[in-house]
């Protein structure tokens, strides 16, 4: 079934129940930090910073947008791009696109003007829907972007080179357009992270979208009484498909603008959130604020919060140990995935397996996994090889790129480019990204293992390990270390701490500087390599969610 049927079902069964809430508390000068204070605020005073829509309104908005697109000649398999920050309009626009039979094409909001143009042309986009933050980037190439394309602006004061979303949909029917869809119809194009060059366009069918939605609901037992807090950007498969667990369950979700520790806890408190998906840096920031005493748990209503879900990168076991000290009753989960596998969940830890913290888990709902060597033969248990996944969420292809498709898809198996191993109980551990492996003097060194160890030092906030060129050994390991706020740390201290590692894994150099991460929390190692003169070691990046 197409994923749009979940929305239509919810509009029938729960028409007056809240589907989506948008919170923008960081714009409020008098932000209340505690749930008790929040409850004293008159609703109309908080209105500009909190918006909501019911399931019936959600569906009606999607229908209006769909009917507008159809009226402008958009048809099945045309492509409609979205480049907006998270807002209440984002998901109704996305579902409106799907309801026409067209293909939704979310753009990374970090794209510059040239990347927007490149992706629009690569995906052969027919319409671009954009928010006020992107006027300049769209205007920079407006002549080329607007040639044969409809540009739709969502916001106030529509620029002259675009048409107003509000005006376009104002008189459109709120009745479903009646376009017949099946799970074999194409539904979306997502883009690879693009951290090693311009991104690739990843084509998915409705089958992939529905699989991701049903899997998320099943993995986290999302129920009607749950409230999901979504902070990461909706263009990303991780954020959107974690939210789709709420879509399947017919339960409320909150789109939060802002990721400061007090902002997150205030949102959990005021909206009574039960499931929260955090990126590793945000979880670390919350713990650091609690350690410093900047936040006090008793100031918030958190008893309903049942699941802390961390993803988008390997999760340090030390982080979860610290988290459980503050939140002993929380379930914990992590998922692994790629945009090529419709986001997170092809490998899934499961809340019942917290004893296996450090593993990415076992094959997810309806997925298969295997680990292979360079000759594509399965390795023995305990040996390191490339992780491959197979299931109904695998992409159809890299759009307009048959060569890259052939390299990545083989007999239905998606070759992830990630190095992994499986323990005797069948749990899979991510060792490192295939091209991130450092080869020093003929020895394979996996940076993730070193990073996990160094994060155990109490002065370290974040760390990234990269390979630097070396005439004698080929590569040597360099640890880029970001120190916790208010602390001082020396190279000698790091080296002394690393005596707990085998000699060949100890960093040969230590560099103190902030760790660059992208919008989904992944360390931008290509940026670090370029900064430190290791361009020739540029790696193929894949996504972990």
Residue 230 and residue 252: Cα distance in Å, rounded?
Answer: 11
Q: What kind of architecture, by CATH, is found in domain 334-432?
A: Roll (2.30)
**CB under 8 Å to 545, separation ≥6 — which residues?**
236, 237, 238, 311, 312, 335, 336, 337, 338, 343, 344, 520
Instruction: Give DSSP secondary structure letters for 232-278.
Output: S-TTSHHHHHHHHHHHHHT-EEEEE----HHHHHHHHHHHT--EEEE
Q: Report the CATH number of the 437-537 domain.
A: 3.30.300.30
- Which two structure tokens, joined as six digits, stand for 542? 């894949």
Residue 524 has a pLDDT of: 79
Q: How far is CA 385 from its chain centroid? A: 25
For residue 420, the surrounding DSSP H or E stretch is strand 413-422
Q: What is the pLDDT of residue 239?
A: 87
CATH class for the region spanning 4-258: alpha beta
What is the pLDDT at residue 193?
A: 65
4-258 against 334-432: fold identical:
no
Name the DSSP class of 282.
H
Residue 138 near residue 116 (C-beta atoms within 8 A): yes
Given its phi and psi angles, is residue 160 left (phi above 0), alpha (psi -120 to 50 degrees) or beta?
alpha
Cβ atoms 104, 127 nearer than 8 A: no
Both tokens assigned to 371: 């680990």
pLDDT reported for residue 38: 39
Q: Hey, where are the domains in the chain?
A: 4-258, 334-432, 437-537
Q: Could you report the average pLDDT of every consecutive run of 10 residues in the chain (545 residues)?
A: 96 98 71 40 50 97 98 96 96 98 94 91 96 95 92 95 96 95 96 67 97 96 96 89 96 94 94 92 89 93 93 75 93 90 92 89 96 94 94 96 94 92 93 73 74 89 88 81 92 93 87 82 78 56 33
pLDDT at 538: 37
The predicted pLDDT at position 344 comes to: 86
Note the pLDDT of residue 532: 85
- Coil vs helix vs strand at 145: helix
């Amino acid at each position: 079934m197409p994923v749009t049927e979940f929305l239509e079902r919810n509009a029938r069964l729960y028409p007056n129940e809240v589907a989506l809430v948008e919170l923008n508390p960081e714009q409020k000068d008098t932000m209340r930090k505690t749930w008790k204070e929040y409850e004293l605020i008159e609703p109309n005073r908080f209105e500009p910073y909190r918006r909501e829509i019911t399931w019936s309104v959600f569906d009606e908005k999607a229908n209006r947008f769909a009917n507008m697109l159809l009226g402008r000649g958009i048809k099945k398999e045309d492509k409609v791009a979205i480049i907006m920050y998270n807002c209440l309009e984002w998901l109704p626009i996305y579902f409106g696109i799907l309801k026409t039979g067209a293909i939704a094409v979310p753009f990374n909001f970090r794209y510059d003007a040239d990347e927007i143009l490149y992706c629009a042309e690569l995906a052969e986009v027919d319409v671009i829907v954009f928010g006020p933050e992107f006027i300049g980037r769209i205007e920079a190439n407006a002549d080329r972007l607007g040639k044969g394309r409809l540009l739709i602006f969502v916001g106030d004061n529509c620029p002259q080179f675009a048409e107003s979303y509000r005006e376009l949909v104002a008189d459109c029917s709120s009745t479903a357009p009646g376009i017949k869809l099946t799970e074999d119809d194409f539904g979306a194009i997502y883009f690879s992270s693009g951290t090693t060059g311009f991104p690739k366009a990843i084509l998915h069918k409705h089958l992939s979208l529905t699989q991701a939605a049903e899997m998320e609901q099943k993995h986290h037992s999302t129920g009607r009484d749950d409230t999901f807090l979504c902070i990461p950007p909706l263009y990303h498969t991780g954020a959107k498909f974690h939210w789709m667990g709420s879509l399947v369950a017919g339960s409320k979700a909150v789109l939060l603008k802002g990721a400061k520790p007090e902002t997150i806890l205030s949102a959990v408190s005021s909206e009574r959130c039960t499931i929260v998906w955090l990126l590793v840096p945000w979880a670390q920031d919350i713990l650091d604020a609690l350690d410093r005493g900047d936040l006090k748990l008793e100031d918030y209503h958190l008893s309903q919060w049942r699941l802390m879900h961390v993803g988008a990168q390997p999760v340090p076991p030390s982080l979860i140990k610290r988290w459980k000290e503050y939140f002993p009753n929380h379930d914990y989960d992590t998922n692994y995935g790629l945009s090529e596998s419709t986001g997170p969940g092809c490998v899934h830890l499961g809340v019942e397996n917290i004893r296996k913290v450090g593993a990415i888990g076992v094959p997810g709902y309806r997925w298969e996994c295997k680990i292979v060597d360079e000759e594509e033969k399965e390795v023995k248990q305990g040996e390191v090889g490339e992780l491959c996944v197979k299931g109904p969420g695998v992409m159809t292809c890299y759009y307009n790129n048959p060569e890259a498709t052939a390299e990545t898809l083989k007999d239905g198996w998606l070759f992830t480019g990630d190095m992994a191993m499986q323990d005797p109980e069948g749990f899979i551990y991510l060792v490192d990204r295939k091209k991130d492996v450092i080869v020093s003097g003929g020895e394979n060194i996996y940076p993730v293992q070193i990073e996990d160890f160094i994060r155990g030092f109490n002065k370290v906030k974040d760390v990234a390990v990269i390979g630097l060129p070396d005439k004698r050994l080929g590569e040597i390991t360099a640890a880029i270390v970001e120190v916790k706020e208010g602390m001082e740390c020396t190279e000698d201290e790091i080296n002394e701490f690393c005596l707990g590692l085998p000699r060949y894994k100890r960093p040969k150099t230590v560099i103190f500087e902030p760790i660059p991460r992208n919008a989904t929390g992944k360390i931008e190692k290509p940026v670090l390599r370029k900064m430190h003169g290791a361009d020739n070691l540029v790696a193929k990046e894949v996504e972990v969610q």
